[in-house]
Amino acid sequence: MQDVLAAFGRAILLILPIFGPVPVIIWWERRLLSWMQDRIGPNRTGNITFSRNSRMIPSFLKGKKIKLFGLLQSIADGIKLFLKEDIMPSKTDKLLFIVAPFIALFVSFTLGATVPFSGDLRFTPVADVNIGLLYVLAISSLGAYGLVLAGYSSNNKYSLIGGLRASAQLISYELAMGVSLASIVMMSGSLKLTDIVNQQQNTPLYNLNFAPFTLIANWNILSPMGFVSGIVFFICMLAETNRPPFDLPEAENELVAGYHTEYSTKRWALFMMAEYMAMFVFSMIWFTIFMGGYHLLPVRSEFLDGIEQKVGFLLGPLTMMLKGAFGLSVYIWVRATFPRLRYDQLMNLGWKFLLPLSVGNLMITASWIFANRVYGNAVGWGVVCIGYAILGIVWLRTRRKKQDEKQFGSRSIDMVVSSVRFSSPEIAAVADATEGL
């Protein structure tokens, strides 16, 4: 019973920091997008102006104005959504229509159950299981079920197409994501996320030999194989959360609103909450796998190790929240920068670029581990350089071949028709007079 209560307490400690910041995340996306697009954004809701004449107001507050920069706009929108009339179309599959948003929300809540927020295992993670990365992949893939069921149960062709797009997108990018993580598993020797974080701190990468920093930690993003895996995982992470430029399941210029066209009020809000929470959790997962997790800096020293031992239970969660906020900012930055991909571009990127790149990176990682253990460090890094050179040559040859196919496969069409019969002699005379223009 004590273990069950402890696990329940860890689950509450996970859910609260993920669910609580959702209104702030929505406000931050609106404000950051408005700044990037040279407009104002929400800036009025929540401002407080104290009366100058009221006797109930202390003198030091009379006439003062407190600006919250529109921070309460998200809370006002949430209250409005949960108080509006709930509309359900009459021809829907009511059970699946109701269950679908809860499936999406369940995935967002449970996705980070194996992510460590600090080095104190009494508080985090919820379950330090041996298959931590497999759990992340399995739970993230369940998110497509909510979208597919929402599109299917709505009895709407636009919604159905959005749900089918979500399933096809999941299959395309889940493969590349899994193969990219396989490289990290081979480098760390474990599927457990706590082991992956510890491996990034325990093994020194470079000795600096000056105080207070003595060496750079072995963060996965600092190695060539980890860098390539991190880029692939980040792109797949955007596709997994259906964020621009991979928001084809809800493309408003094609599908009205996609899989949630028929949803309104509370159920639509559940889909939006699930999306923002998934973004936040995926950001922290990325930093956990590739950038040291709850460790703030990629450096090691006795001074920093002593601080982490004393206040790590506070510094670790704060570091993870900061890294998650930075990941959210990158999500928003990508949305403001790149246009939505066409469906064929999305498929080509997943199947013809990301999957071959992650497979090649996995082969290079395996070759590096073998050569490093058998022949030494120098031979291992030589194999890495040769492997990436071969990858670059193959990519250049493939690109040149595509350009040649476009060049020789092109054709021109003459849009001027010389022999045209006109029914009216006046129109024929005008055509003859303007033929040389």
Residue pair 286/293 in contact (Cβ under 8 Å)? The answer is no
pLDDT of residue 72: 86
Q: By three-state DSSP, how is residue 10 classified? A: helix
DSSP labels, 53-100:
S-TTS-GGGTT-EE--TTTTHHHHHHHHHHHSPP---TTS-HHHHHHH
- Domain membership of residue 175 (yes or no) is yes
pLDDT tens per residue, range 6-35: 878 888 888 888 888 888 898 899 999 999
Find the mean pLDDT for residues 241-266.
Answer: 86
Using pLDDT thresholds of 50, 70 and 90, give the confidence band for residue 409.
low
> What is the per-residue pLDDT for 211?
44
Coil, strand or helix at 204: strand
pLDDT confidence band for 210 (50 / 70 / 90) = very low
- Which residues have a Cβ under 8 Å from the Cβ of 213 and sit 6 or more positions away? 299, 300, 301, 304
- Residues in CB range of 39: below 8 A, 6 or more apart: none
Q: Which domain holds residue 227?
A: 85-405
**Per-residue confidence at 418, pLDDT binned at 50, 70, 90?**
low
- 300 pLDDT more than 80: no
* Token pair for 351: 């199947």
- Could you tell me what percent of the chain has a pLDDT over 90? 21
Q: Is 375 part of any domain?
A: yes
**Could you tell me if residue 104 is inside a domain?**
yes
Question: Counting every residue, how long is the chain?
Answer: 437
Tokens 């990219």 correspond to: 180
Within a domain: 73: no
Burial of 255 (0-12, 13-18, 19+ CB in 10 A): buried
- What's the structural domain count of the chain? 1
User: Is residue 395 domain-resident?
Assistant: yes
Distances (CA, A) of 89 to 49, 77, 94, 211, 267: 44, 23, 9, 67, 13
Residue 174 included in any domain = yes
Task: Reduce the DSSP state of residue 341 to 3 states and report it.
Answer: coil
pLDDT band at 204 (very low <50, low <70, confident <90, very high): low
Of residues 401 and 408, more confidently modeled: 401
Looking at mean pLDDT, say which of 87-91, 152-156, 284-288, 347-351 comes out highest: 284-288
Strand, helix or coil for residue 107: helix
Asked if residue 385 belongs to a domain, the reply is: yes
pLDDT at 411 over 70: no
Q: Distance between alpha carbon 8 and the CA centroid of its chain, in Å? A: 28
Q: Is residue 183 part of a domain?
A: yes
The amino acid sitting at 302 is E
Condensed to tens digits (0 to 9), the pLDDT of residues 365-381 reads 999 999 988 888 888 88
First to last CA, the chain: 92
Q: Is the pLDDT of residue 290 over 50?
A: yes
Residue 306 has pLDDT above 70, yes or no: yes
**pLDDT above 70 covers what percent of the chain?**
88
Whether the Cβ atoms of residue 358 and residue 229 lie closer than 8 Å to each other = yes
At 290, the amino acid letter reads F
Q: How confident is the model at residue 208 (pLDDT cuts 50, 70, 90)?
A: very low
